[in-house]
Amino acid sequence: MKYETSHGITLPKIGFGTWRIGGKSSPDPKLDEASLTALHTALEIGYTHFDTAEYYAGGHCEELVGRAIRESGKKREEVFITTKVSPEHLSYKDVLKACDGSLRRLKMDYIDLYLIHWPPRSLSKLDEAFPALNKLVREGLVKHLGVSNFNLKWLKRAQELSETPILTNQIPYRLPDKSYVANGVIEYCQQNDILVTAYSPVKFRSLRVNSTLNQIAEAHAATPFQIALAWLVMQPRVITIPMSFNPQHIKENFEAVKIKLTDKEMSQLADEW
Q: What CATH number did the domain enclosing 24 receive?
A: 3.20.20.100
Q: Assess if residue 273 is contained within a domain.
A: no
Which is more confident, 273 or 59?
Answer: 59
In a domain, 253, yes or no: no
Tell me the mean pLDDT in the region 228-233: 97
Contact present, 255 and 223 (Cβ < 8 Å):
no
Question: What integer pLDDT is reported at residue 70 of this predicted model?
Answer: 98
User: Is residue 214 scored above 90 in pLDDT?
Assistant: yes
Of the candidate ranges 15-29, 129-143, 200-214, the one whose mean pLDDT is the lowest: 200-214
* Residues 232-246, mean pLDDT to the nearest whole number: 97
Residue ranges making up the domain that contains 31: 3-201+239-244
Angle, nearest 10°, between helix axes 263-271 and 211-219?
160
Name the domain count of the chain.
1
Confidence of residue 112 (pLDDT cuts 50, 70, 90): very high
Instruction: Give the pLDDT of residue 207.
Output: 78
Q: Averaged over 97-126, what is the pLDDT? A: 97
Nearest to 195 by CA among 108, 110, 115, 84: 115
pLDDT of 206 = 67
Average pLDDT across the chain, whole number:
96
Is residue 31 assigned to a domain? yes
Q: How confident is the model at residue 178 (pLDDT cuts 50, 70, 90)?
A: confident
Average pLDDT over residues 5-20: 97
Q: Domain for residue 233, yes or no?
A: no
Question: Would 249 be classed as within a structural domain?
Answer: no
Residue 225 in domain: no
- The CA-to-CA distance between both ends of the chain, in Å, stands at 27
Which one from 47, 55, 56, 180 is the annotated catalytic residue? 56
Specify whether the CB–CB gap between 53 and 83 falls below 8 A.
yes
Query: Which pLDDT does position 203 carry in this prediction?
Result: 78
Establish if 230 belongs to a structural domain.
Answer: no
Q: Catalytic: 56? A: yes
In this prediction, residue 234 carries a pLDDT of 97
CA distance 85 to 87: 7
- Closest by alpha carbon to 164, among 188, 142, 187, 196? 142
- Nearest CA-CA partner of 139 in 199, 95, 190: 95
Question: CA–CA distance from 84 to each of 72, 77, 176, 190, 270 (Å)?
Answer: 23, 19, 26, 22, 30
* Higher-scoring residue by pLDDT: 211, 251: 251
Q: How many CB atoms lie within 10 A of CB 232?
A: 24
pLDDT of the residue at 273: 58
pLDDT at position 204 over 70: no
In this predicted model, which residue has the larger pLDDT, 111 or 209? 111
Given a cut of 80, whether residue 210 has pLDDT beyond it is yes
Residue 232 lies in a domain: no
Per-residue pLDDT, averaged over 187-206, amounts to 92
Half-sphere exposure of 40 (CA within 13 A, CB side): 12
Task: Report the DSSP pairing between strands 16-17 and 195-199.
Answer: unpaired
- What percent of the chain stands above pLDDT 70? 99
